[in-house]
Structure 1
Amino acid sequence: MSTELGVEAAEAPTRPLALSPSRAADFRRCALLYRFRAIDRLPETPSPAALRGTVVHAVLERLHALEPADRGPATARGLAAEVLDGLAPDERALLGADPGVEALLVRYHALEDPRAVVSEGRELLVEAELAGPDGSTPLRGVLDRLDAHAGGLTVVDYKSGAAPPVRRELRALFGVRFYALLLARTRGVVPTVRLLQLGDATTLTLRPTADELERFASVLRAVWSAIRRAAPTGDFRPRPGPGCASCAFRALCPAQGGTPPPYPGPPAPPAGPLSLPVPRPRTGEPT
Structure 2
Amino acid sequence: VHKSKGLEFKIVFLIAATDSAFPGRRRGEVKIPKELLKEPKSFTQATHEAEMRRLFYVACTRAKEELYISYPLEVTATGRPIKRSRFIDELADAIDLPLIRAEVSASSQINVGALAAARAAEAVFLKTARGNDSYINDIEDESYADIVAKELADYFNFKKSRALISATDKAAVLKKFDDIIGRLINSPYSQVVKAEQFTAVILNKASESLAESGEAASKPVSYLDFLPVNEAGGMTLSVSDIILYQKCPLAFKFKYIYQIPMVPSPEADFGIFIHNVLQRFHSAYPRSEATLEKLLSIYDKGVKVRRLGRTTAEKQLIDKGRHALQLYLPDFLAAEGEPVFFEREFNWRIKNHRIRGRVDRADKLGDGTYELIDYKSGKSWQPKQIREDLQLSIYSLAVRQSWEIEPTLLSYYFLMENKKMPALRTPEELEVAQALVLSACEDILTEKFAPKVDFINCQYCDCRVLCPATEV
| Same fold, judged at TM 0.5 (above) | yes
| 1:128 counterpart (341, 348, 356) | 348
Give the corresponding residue for 1:76: 295
Residues 112-151 of structure 1 aligned to structure 2 (within 5 Å): 112-113=332-333, 118-131=338-351, 136-151=352-367
CA distance in 2, matches of 1:115, 1:79: 22
Report the structure, 1 or 2, having the larger helix content. Answer: 2
Compared with structure 1, are the counterparts of its residues 145 and 166 closer, same or farther at alpha carbon in structure 2 (3 Å cutoff)? Answer: closer
Aligned residues: 236
The answer as to whether partners of 1:143 and 1:155 remain within 8 angstroms in 2 is yes
CA distance in 1, matches of 2:374, 2:404: 20
2:371 aligned counterpart, secondary structure? strand
CA distance in 1, matches of 2:396, 2:445: 24
CA distance in 2, matches of 1:220, 1:79: 37
Compared with structure 1, are the counterparts of its residues 110 and 201 closer, same or farther at alpha carbon in structure 2 (3 Å cutoff)? Answer: farther
Give the corresponding residue for 1:198: 415
| 1:159 counterpart (369, 373, 376) | 376
* Paired amino acid for 2:322: E
Percent identity of paired positions between Structure 1 and Structure 2: 21
1:243-282 deviation line (CA, Å, top 9, x unaligned): 1111111122122249xxxxxxxxxxxxxxxxxxxxxxxx
The answer as to whether partners of 2:337 and 2:365 remain within 8 angstroms in 1 is no
1:82-120 deviation line (CA, Å, top 9, x unaligned): 222222x58965952232321221232354327987433
Compared with structure 1, are the counterparts of its residues 185 and 69 closer, same or farther at alpha carbon in structure 2 (3 Å cutoff)? Answer: closer
1:219-257 deviation line (CA, Å, top 9, x unaligned): 111111111110xxxx52222212111111112212224
Deviation at 1:140, TM superposition (A): 1.1
1:140 aligned counterpart, secondary structure? strand
Compared with structure 1, are the counterparts of its residues 85 and 15 closer, same or farther at alpha carbon in structure 2 (3 Å cutoff)? Answer: farther
1:5-36 deviation line (CA, Å, top 9, x unaligned): xxxxx9xxx99452333211211111111122
Deviation at 1:211, TM superposition (A): 4.1
Residue 63 in 1 paired to residue 281 in 2? yes
CA distance in 2, matches of 1:255, 1:53: 30
Give the corresponding residue for 1:48: 266
CA distance in 2, matches of 1:138, 1:178: 12
Compared with structure 1, are the counterparts of its residues 39 and 126 closer, same or farther at alpha carbon in structure 2 (3 Å cutoff)? Answer: farther
Give the corresponding residue for 2:244: 26
Give the corresponding residue for 1:3: none
Q: Please report the TM-score for the alignment, with normalisation by the length of structure 2.
A: 0.45
Deviation at 1:70, TM superposition (A): 3.2
1:146 aligned counterpart, secondary structure? strand
Q: Which runs of 5+ in 2 are unaligned?
A: 1-196, 198-227
CA distance in 1, matches of 2:289, 2:350: 40
CA distance in 1, matches of 2:415, 2:365: 23
* Paired amino acid for 1:215: V
The answer as to whether partners of 2:376 and 2:414 remain within 8 angstroms in 1 is yes
Residues 1-287 of structure 1 aligned to structure 2 (within 5 Å): 16=230, 17-65=235-283, 66-87=285-306, 96-98=314-316, 99=318, 100-109=320-329, 111-113=331-333, 118-131=338-351, 136-151=352-367, 152-171=369-388, 173-191=389-407, 192-230=409-447, 235-242=448-455, 243-257=457-471
The answer as to whether partners of 1:193 and 1:205 remain within 8 angstroms in 2 is yes
Report the structure, 1 or 2, having the larger strand content. Answer: 1
CA-atom RMSD, angstroms? 2.9
Q: Which runs of 5+ in 1 are unaligned?
A: 1-9, 259-287
* Paired amino acid for 2:277: V
The answer as to whether partners of 2:287 and 2:333 remain within 8 angstroms in 1 is no
Q: Give the number of the structure whose alpha-carbon radius of gyration is greater.
A: 2
